[in-house]
């Protein structure tokens, strides 16, 4: 079955370039030229992967990325951002919004093709089976993205925060370095202080008792510690 890729890009030459290589690779492409058109499409359809231009006529492609990450059934869809914005702060915004991979324009089109295939493979591996992890009073399911603490569901973590939490709990009581967290959770080059930002935000959202179990060891990393 053909995988479907949503390409949100307002620049025709760019769309043609993407089309030339991805259709050759056997993907079905759907195009949108605005944030609104992209969002409308996602109301009814679930593509296998999304390629987003960030500078769109009616806003930023990151709005679409945030929508995807916050929508059940779409939240694991890989997102590649294509952009001419090269400043660090824009990249950081992109990673915060849940972009999986960032390609700067002018893009190397074969590189895009490689990333598309790599990210789709990762999703296939991920969805082969969800694991329910029980840790005393804590339960986590990496398929339904549910965290249950003392029987209560904690439902407000972003996908990235969830992945980070899941990784720490799974590795518990091992101390995990920022670098290891980045390669497991971001699966791409990212800056280390993103980890701290995400840990901070995640702690704010967890019940205090649970948040306290995420320990930071200055200069080294983080761990989840389950009391006996």
Residues in contact with Ca ion by CB under 5 A are 10, 53, 55
Compare residues 17 and 123 and give the one whose CB is closer to Ca ion: 17
Least distance (Å) between residue 61 CB and Ca ion: 8
Cβ count near 40 (within 10 Å): 12
Asked if 29 and 61 touch (Cβ cutoff 8 Å), the reply is no
Least distance (Å) between residue 3 CB and Ca ion: 24
Least distance (Å) between residue 17 CB and Ca ion: 13
Least distance (Å) between residue 115 CB and Ca ion: 19
* Residues in a beta bridge with 4: 28
Compare residues 10 and 48 and give the one whose CB is closer to Ca ion: 10
Least distance (Å) between residue 56 CB and Ca ion: 6
Q: Taken in order 201, 203, 206, 207, is the CA torsion positive or negative?
A: negative
Position with the least CB separation from Ca ion:
55
Compare residues 11 and 92 and give the one whose CB is closer to Ca ion: 11
Maximum Cα–Cα distance for the chain, whole Å? Answer: 60
d(CA 100, CA 96): 10
d(CA 31, CA 97): 21
Q: Taken in order 52, 130, 167, 134, is the CA torsion positive or negative?
A: positive
Q: What angle do CA 18, 61, 37 make, to 5 degrees?
A: 80
Compare residues 10 and 100 and give the one whose CB is closer to Ca ion: 10
Least distance (Å) between residue 109 CB and Ca ion: 17
Report residue 138 CA to chain centroid gap.
24
CA nearest 220: which of 187, 176, 169?
A: 176
Compare residues 55 and 130 and give the one whose CB is closer to Ca ion: 55
d(CA 209, CA 88): 35
- Whose tokens are 């670098």? That residue is 179
Compare residues 13 and 110 and give the one whose CB is closer to Ca ion: 13
């Amino acid at each position: 079955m053909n995988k479907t890729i949503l390409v949100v890009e307002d620049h025709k030459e760019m769309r043609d370039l993407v089309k030339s290589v991805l259709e050759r690779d056997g993907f079905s492409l759907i195009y949108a030229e605005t944030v609104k058109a992209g969002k409308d499409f996602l109301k009814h359809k679930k593509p296998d992967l999304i390629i987003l231009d960030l500078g769109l006529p009616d806003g930023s492609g990151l709005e679409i990325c945030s929508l995807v990450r916050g929508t059940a059934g779409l939240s694991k869809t890989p997102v590649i951002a294509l952009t001419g914005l090269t400043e660090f702060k824009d990249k950081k915004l992109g990673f915060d919004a849940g972009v999986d991979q960032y390609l700067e324009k002018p893009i190397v089109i074969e590189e895009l093709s490689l990333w598309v295939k790599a990210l789709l493979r990762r999703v296939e591996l991920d969805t082969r089976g969800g694991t329910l992890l029980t840790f005393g009073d804590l339960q986590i399911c990496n398929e339904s993205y549910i965290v249950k603490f003392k029987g209560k569901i904690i439902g407000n973590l972003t996908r990235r925060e969830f992945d980070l939490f899941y990784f720490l709990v799974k590795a518990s009581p091992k101390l995990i370095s920022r670098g290891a967290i980045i390669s497991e959770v971001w699966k791409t080059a990212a800056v280390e202080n993103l980890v701290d930002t995400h840990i901070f935000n995640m702690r704010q959202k967890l019940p205090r008792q649970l948040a306290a179990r995420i320990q930071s060891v200055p200069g080294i990393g983080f761990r989840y510690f389950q009391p006996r």
